[in-house]
């Protein structure tokens, strides 16, 4: 059971600031229990292995433990700890909740035991480290840290430690995001806008720019120059819908219908964001090469706008309470 989330939001008149008081659902705290979706999944499949990561209190007090703690800090507060590799206002935890521990939120303990694996996106077998690099390049709109660099070593140590005792190669309950069946009614922008306004805008703001406090994403931006770029997994409707269904609204995952999750995913991914770093010089060519799939909105016309222009180098969205992007979008 997730507790209903009550939110009181009061803005200081005349200031581009907002005070948000969360009662009952605590931010940045995240429910520790698994999501409804992963519970269903676990109940449905006898082949899934149930696993829970160790508590943080069990991190050893030695040189290895120090590396694990470094990884956890990087995961929670990525920009402050790895500024040279981050190009937006997200953290790893923005999409892998509870610092990559929460089942149904692509947790790192399940990821660690799943690599190396073939990925059609890269058309090759990727290592875990290569997977981390991909999330920096696309989801964080930044630069991939070099293999063996302190940032990757720390994130690997953290993930490895969390997976202690998990069987390698087994399908763990709560791995990745929930997979939703394709929706009977397709997806629709106007319906998605309604879902967004009713269930998301309070935190992520009506203009999608969320809320930054001291440069940290209290509520992360879901589109625009400070969000994930067009090459990210979250820019694909199936992955976004699965993430949203299992994890959003924060503290109340599993409360939307599948249809609502698909519609609101389409609404979010129906907005402009930083250019795909694989950009080939034209939207059409880039769409053909990387976004030809049925779940891509890049290079499509949504609500009368052709998507894929990117957000330029200065940041086109400042947001109601946002700040200008400090780094050029795209690469």
Q: How far is the CB of 225 from ligand HEC (least distance, A)?
A: 13
HEC readout, 107-126? CHHHHHCCCCEEECCCCEEE
Q: How far is the CB of 75 from ligand HEC (least distance, A)?
A: 6
- Of 157, 166, 203, 237, the residue at the interface with ligand HEC (CB under 6 A) is 203
Task: Confirm or reject binding of residue 228 to ligand HEC (CB under 6 A).
Answer: yes
Which CB, 116 or 284, lies closer to ligand HEC?
A: 116
- Of 221, 246, 308, 310, the residue at the interface with ligand HEC (CB under 6 A) is 221
Q: What's the rounded Cα separation, in Å, for the pair 246 and 75?
A: 20
20 φ/ψ angles, rounded to the nearest 5 degrees: -115, 120
DSSP state string for 263-280 = HHHHHHTTS--SPPTT--
- Of 53, 220, 254, 315, the residue at the interface with ligand HEC (CB under 6 A) is 220
Task: Confirm or reject binding of residue 232 to ligand HEC (CB under 6 A).
Answer: yes
Q: How far is the CB of 278 from ligand HEC (least distance, A)?
A: 17
Task: Confirm or reject binding of residue 143 to ligand HEC (CB under 6 A).
Answer: no
- Provide the sign of the torsion angle of the four alpha carbons 243, 249, 255, 256, taken in this order: negative
Q: How far is the CB of 191 from ligand HEC (least distance, A)?
A: 12
Specify the stretch interacting with ligand HEC by CB under 6 A; choose among 53-61, 160-168, 225-233, 322-330.
225-233
Q: What's the rounded Cα separation, in Å, for the pair 99 and 176?
A: 14
Task: Confirm or reject binding of residue 176 to ligand HEC (CB under 6 A).
Answer: yes
Task: Confirm or reject binding of residue 5 to ligand HEC (CB under 6 A).
Answer: yes
Task: Confirm or reject binding of residue 227 to ligand HEC (CB under 6 A).
Answer: yes
The helix (H) or strand (E) run that includes residue 219 is strand 216-219
Task: Confirm or reject binding of residue 262 to ligand HEC (CB under 6 A).
Answer: no
- CA 310, distance to chain mean position in Å, is 19
Which CB, 59 or 95, lies closer to ligand HEC?
A: 95
Task: Confirm or reject binding of residue 36 to ligand HEC (CB under 6 A).
Answer: no
Task: Count CA within 13 A, CB hemisphere, residue 307.
Answer: 26
Q: How far is the CB of 223 from ligand HEC (least distance, A)?
A: 8
Task: Confirm or reject binding of residue 106 to ligand HEC (CB under 6 A).
Answer: yes
Q: What are the angstrom distances between the C-alpha of 215 and each of 76, 79, 136, 143, 325?
A: 13, 9, 18, 19, 10
- Of 166, 173, 234, 283, the residue at the interface with ligand HEC (CB under 6 A) is 234
Can you tell me whether residue 236 is helix, strand or coil?
A: strand
- Of 36, 68, 111, 173, the residue at the interface with ligand HEC (CB under 6 A) is 111
**Cβ distance 321 to 18 under 8 Å?**
yes
DSSP state string for 183-209 = PTT---HHHHHHHHHHHTHHHH-TTS-
Q: Is 328 exposed, middle or buried (0-12, 13-18, 19+ CB in 10 A)?
A: middle
Q: What's the rounded Cα separation, in Å, for the pair 214 and 89?
A: 11
**Nearest Cα residue to 147 out of 166, 129, 125:** 129
Segment 294 to 323, residues that bind ligand HEC, using CB under 6 A: none
- Of 51, 109, 177, 295, the residue at the interface with ligand HEC (CB under 6 A) is 177
Residues that bind ligand HEC (CB under 6 A): 5, 7, 27-28, 30, 78, 90, 92-97, 106, 108, 110-111, 114, 131-132, 135-136, 139-140, 155, 175-177, 199-200, 202-204, 219-222, 227-228, 232-234, 239, 244, 248-251, 256, 264, 268
């Amino acid at each position: 059971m997730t507790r209903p989330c009550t939110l009181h939001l009061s803005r200081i008149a005349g200031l581009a600031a907002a005070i948000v008081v969360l009662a009952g659902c605590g931010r940045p705290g995240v429910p520790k229990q698994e999501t409804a979706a992963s519970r269903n999944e676990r109940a449905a499949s006898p082949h899934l292995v149930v696993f829970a990561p160790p508590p943080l209190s069990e991190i050893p007090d030695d040189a290895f433990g120090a590396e694990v703690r470094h990884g956890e800090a990087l995961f929670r507060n990525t920009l402050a700890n790895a500024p040279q590799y981050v190009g937006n206002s997200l953290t790893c935890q923005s999409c892998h909740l509870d610092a990559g521990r929460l089942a149904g939120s692509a947790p790192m303990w399940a990821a660690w035991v799943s690599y190396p694996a073939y990925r059609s996106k890269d058309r090759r077998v990727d290592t875990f480290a290569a997977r981390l690099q991909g999330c920096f390049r696309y989801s964080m709109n930044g630069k991939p840290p070099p293999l063996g660099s302190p940032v990757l070593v720390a994130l690997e140590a953290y993930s490895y430690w969390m997976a202690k005792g998990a069987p390698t190669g087994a399908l763990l309950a709560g791995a990745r995001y929930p997979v939703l069946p394709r929706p009977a009614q397709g997806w629709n922008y106007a319906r998605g806008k309604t879902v967004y306004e009713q269930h998301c805008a309070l935190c992520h703001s009506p203009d999608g720019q969320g809320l930054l406090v001291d440069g940290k994403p209290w509520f992360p931006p879901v589109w625009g120059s400070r969000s994930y770029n067009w090459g990210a997994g979250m820019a694909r409707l199936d992955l976004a819908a699965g993430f949203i269904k299992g994890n959003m609204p924060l503290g109340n995952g599993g409360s939307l219908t599948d249809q609502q999750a698909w519609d609101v995913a389409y609404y979010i991914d129906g907005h402009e964001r930083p250019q795909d770093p694989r950009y080939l010089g034209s939207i059409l060519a880039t769409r053909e090469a990387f976004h030809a799939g049925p779940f891509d909105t890049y290079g499509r016309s949504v609500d009368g706008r052709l998507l894929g222009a990117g957000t330029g180098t200065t940041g086109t969205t400042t947001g109601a309470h946002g700040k200008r992007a400090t780094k050029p979008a795209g690469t």
